[in-house]
Structure 1
Amino acid sequence: MVRSLTLLLALGASAVAKPVDADPMYAHLRIIAPAGPGGGWDQTARAMQQVLQQSDIVETASVENIPGAAGTIGLARLLGAERGKGDVTMVSGLIMLGAIASYHSPVTLRDVTPIARLTGEYEVVVVPAASPYRTLTDLLDAFRARPESIAWAGGSAGGTDQILAGLIADAVGVSPRRVNYVAFAGGGESMAAVLGGQVTAGISGLGEFAPQIAAGTVRVLAISSDARLPDVQAPTLREQGVEVVLENWRSLVGPPGMGVEDRARLDRAVAAMVSSTAWQQMLRRYGWSDRYLAGAAFARFVLDEEARVASILDKLGVVAAPTAGPASVGFYPIFVLAGFALCVISLTLSAVGARRDADRSPLDRAAADAEDRPSQFRAVSLIALGIAMNVLLLERAGFVVASVPLFWLTARAFDGQHPRRDVIVAVALSLGTYLLFARLLQVSLPAGVLAPWL
C-alpha cells in the first residue's frame, strides 16, 4: 500500500513538473550569427542554441555564421533568401545599427521583423599583461600626447567598440577623428591582435574577453558601466575621470514576411528561453545583463536607438565610404540590365543597318534611311519608356513587377510581331533575374507586392 501510494505521488509530481504542452515548439530552428566565430553575436547564438535544446523548447537548433560588413551581409541574406520563412532568426543589436549608418547599407533593421531585445553588456578596455600601461591614466596620458600612436582594436567600423573609443577621446579632449581604430570582424580576431602586440589596447564586450581576463593574459583598465560590477575587478571609466557610460545590447530579428502564426511561435519560444534557469545561468556566465524587451516596445526602442546612434556617429565622424558588396549594391543590377539592353539594341541596329547598306545603291540607301528613322525612334522610345517604368515601379511594386515592362518593351523594340510571346519571356526573365540576385548572389532586391510568394 505504501509502495503504491509512493508511486502515485511520484507520478503526480512528474505530471505537475512537466506541462501538458511541453512538446518542442520547433523540430529545428536556425540561428544566424552575422559575424565570425568568437564574437558577441556568435556567443549569443550558441548560448541560445544550447539553452533552447536543453530546455526542450526546440528539438534541434543550428548556428550559421555569415560574417561581413558588421552584420549587414547577414542582414541582406535575411531579407533575401530567408524572406517569409518561419524557422529562422538572426542575432542583431546596437553594433548593426552603427554598421548600417557607417556602410550606407540599403538594408536596415526597419526591413525585418523585430522579435526581442535579449541582453545588455558593458565594454572593457584591456591591454596585454606585459603592457607598460599599468592604468587607464597611463594609457590616456600617452594618447593625449600622441593620439595616432595608440592603436585601439575592436569590432567592425561604426560598432559599439569604435563608438566607445570615440567617446573616450572626446571626453579627454582629443578629436575622435584622430583615434587610430583598427577594426576586426569579431572579438576573436581583435583579441589575437591584442595578444600579438599588433595594437596598443583592445575594446570589446566583457563576455568576449572574459576567458583571457580570467587567464591573466590581459589586464582590464576600465569598464564602461556606471558603477563597478561585483564579479569584475576593474574600475569604471567614470570613477577615473572619464565621463562615459555605454552598454551594448543584442537582440533577435526575424525575416520580413513572416506569417502571424510563425511570429507568434517565435515570440513564445524566446519568452520561454529567457525565463528558463539555463538562460539565467548563461547571463551570469558571460556577464550579460537581462534586457528582455519584446513586441511593439522593442520596435519603438530600435527606432529610438537608430536616431541616437546616427547622432553619435555624426559627432564622432565615424562614416565609411560606400563599399561595393552584396549588402551595398542598391540599384546596380537595374542599371547593369538597362545598360546591357541599350548596348545590345544599339549594336543590333547598327549591324542590321550596315548589312543593308552594303547591298544597296546610294539612292536606295538614302530612301531606306528615310524609312528607318521612324522605326529607330520608336525602338529608342520604347526602351526609354521601359527604363522609366522600371525606376518608378521598383520600390513600389518590387523588382519582378518593375522589370517585366522593361524587358517586354525592349523585346517589342526588336520585334513587334509577337507581343504575347514577349510577355511570357519578360515575366520569366524578370523572375529568373530576381532569383539569381536575391537567392544565389545574396543581393537584397525589393520583392514588393510579390513578397509573400518570393
Structure 2
Amino acid sequence: MNVMLKKPLKTLALMGAALTLAGGVASQAVASDWTPSRAVEFIAPANPGGGWDTLVRTTSNVIRTENLADQNFAAINVPGGGGAVAWAQIARDNRNDHKLFATSPPIILVPLAGTSRFNHTHFTPVARLITDYSIVLVPQNSPYQSINDLFAAIGENPRISVGGGSAAGSMDHISIAGAAAAAGLNAASVNYIAFSGGGEAMTNLLGGHVDAVITGAGEAMAQLQGGELRALGVSAPERIPGLDVPTYKEQGLDYTFDIWRGVMAPKDISEDALRYYEDLFARMMETDDWKAATERLGWLDAYQNSEEFGAFLDLQLEQFRSVLGELGLLRN
C-alpha cells in the first residue's frame, strides 16, 4: 500500500512543478471592458489565519496598494466543512459577477471524500496563482527534533495526534499521510485531527490539544518568527529561502507535496467579468508589492489562466482519486 500511495503523490508534485515552470504571466490574460460596479466579495472558505485567508487578504491588499481596481475586494471568512459551507453558499449565487473565492486542493479532495456535493466543476476557474508547501510544526518544548522522531513516535503510539486546517481526507491529511507512508508507516493509521482552518489548528497546538500540526509553510511564518513553535520538516523539493527548515528529502524521506492556490468564481459568471479578473490577477503578479509578499511568505508564483487552470483541476481530480482510494477514503 505504501509504495502505491507514494507514487501518485510524487507524480502530483512533479506535475505541479512542471506547470509552474511552463506558465508565463503577461501573455496569458486578455483585458475586458467590464469593471466591478460595487465591492467584490472575496471569500476565504475557512476561519482567519489559514492558507485561504492568507491568500485572500494578501491579494486584496496588493490590489488596493497597487491601485489595480476601482472597487474594494472585501475579505470574508465563511468557515465550515473544510470549505463545503462556503461552496454551497457560492453555488446558490451562481450568476454573481462580484464574488470570488480562494481555492486549493480541498476543492477536489473534500467532494471525493463525500463531504461536499460541490466540486470544481460547479465553479469557474479564474487563475492559479502560487504554490506553497506543507510544513510540520511542534511546540518549542516538544520532544521531537526531526520529522523522523515524530513518525517513530507515531509508529509506537498511534494516539499521537497531528492537527490540520483541512477536513479529513483533504489536503493536510493527504500530505501528512503521504509523508508517513514514505517513512514506512501505514498511512491510514495517522491520527489526523481536522480543524476549521490553519489558524485554529495552530491555536490548538499551542494549547496542547494536539502533538503536532501540518499546515502551509506561508501561513506558519509568523508563528515560527515568534519563537513559540518549531518546524520539523517541509515538503518542498529544496529548502525555502528565508525559512531555515530541512526538507523531508534531507531527512531521508523521498517525498514532496506542493499546495497550489488560486481563485475561482461562481459557475455562471459573465465572460466579460471572467476576463477582467483573469487580467487583474495577471497584472497583480507583476507588481513589486506582490513580489515582496510572495518572498515574505515563501510562495512560488505559479500562474495559470482560466483555461489552463481548468485543465489542471481535471488532472488533479484523477490523481487525487487514486490517492484517496489508497487511503480507503474515496466516497465519490
TM norm structure 2: 0.85
Name the counterpart of 2:45.
34
2:164 pairs with one of 138, 148, 154? 154
| TM superposition shift of 1:24 | 11
Instruction: Report the counterpart of residue 3 of structure 2 in structure 1.
Output: none
Residue number in structure 1 paired with 2:130:
119
Tell me what 1:232 maps to.
243
Query: What corresponds to 1:422 in structure 2?
Result: none
* 1:74 counterpart letter in structure 2: A
CA contact (8 A) 1:120 1:288 kept: yes
Structure 1 position 259, deviation (Å)? 1.6
Change (3 A) 1:41 1:304: same
* Mapped partners of 2:147, 2:266: distance in 1: 42
- Please, which of 139, 142, 151 is the counterpart of residue 131 of structure 1? 142
Query: Are the structure 2 counterparts of residues 24 and 109 from structure 1 closer, same or farther at C-alpha, using a change threshold of 3 Å?
Result: closer
**Partner Cα separation in structure 1 for residue 121 and residue 270 of structure 2:** 17
Q: Which residue of structure 2 aligns with residue 218 of structure 1? A: 229
Q: CA RMSD in A?
A: 1.9
Give the Cα separation in 1 of the matches to 2:271 and 2:125: 13
Match of residue 245 from structure 1: 256
The one-letter code of the counterpart of 2:80 is G
Amino acid of the structure 1 residue aligned with 2:74: S
Indicate which of 257, 264, 279 corresponds to 2:290. Answer: 279
Deviation at residue 230 of structure 1 after TM alignment: 2.5
SS of equivalent residue, structure 2 residue 39: strand
CA distance in 1, matches of 2:84, 2:286: 30
Q: What aligned pairs does 1:371-386 form with structure 2 within 5 A after superposition?
A: none
Aligned-pair CA distance for 1:47: 0.8
Find the aligned partners of 1:67 and 1:116 in 2 and give their Cα distance: 22
Query: Please, which of 110, 119, 129 is the counterpart of residue 108 of structure 1?
Result: 119
Contact 2:81 / 2:115 at 8 angstroms: preserved in 1? no
Please tell me the residue identity of whatever aligns with 1:53: R
Provide closer, same or farther for how the CA distance between residues 24 and 58 of structure 1 changes in structure 2, counting only shifts above 3 A: farther
Contact kept in structure 1, 2:165 and 2:199, CA below 8 Å: no
Structure 1 counterpart of 2:87: 75
- Give the TM-score normalised by structure 1: 0.63
Whole-angstrom distance in 1 between the partners of 2:283 and 2:137: 35
Cα deviation, residue 78, structure 1: 1.3
Question: Could you tell me the percent identity over the aligned residues?
Answer: 31
**1 CA distance for matches of 2:216 and 2:311?**
25
Give how far 1:95 is off. Answer: 2.2
Q: CA deviation at 1:133?
A: 1.2
> Which blocks of at least 5 consecutive residues in structure 1 are unaligned?
1-20, 323-454
Total equivalences in the alignment: 298
What is the alpha-carbon distance in structure 2 between the residues aligned to residue 229 and residue 188 of structure 1? 21
Once the 2 structures are TM-superposed, how far is the Cα of residue 150 of structure 1 from its aligned partner?
A: 1.5
Unmatched segments (≥5 aa) in structure 2: 1-30
Q: Which has the larger radius of gyration?
A: 1
The answer to whether the Cα contact below 8 Å between 2:232 and 2:246 also exists between their aligned partners in 1 is yes
The residue number in structure 2 matching 1:445 is none
Indicate if the aligned counterparts of 2:241 and 2:298 stay in contact, CA closer than 8 A.
no
Match of 1:56 among 64, 67, 87: 67
Measure how far apart 1:276 and its partner are. Answer: 1.6
Separation in structure 2 between the aligned mates of residue 255 and residue 67 of structure 1, nearest angstrom: 18
Is this contact kept in 1: 2:45–2:86, CA < 8 A?
yes
Verify the 8 A CA contact 2:34 2:273 in the aligned structure 1: no
Return the offset for 1:104: 4.3
- Partner SS, residue 271 of structure 1: helix
2:183 is matched with 172
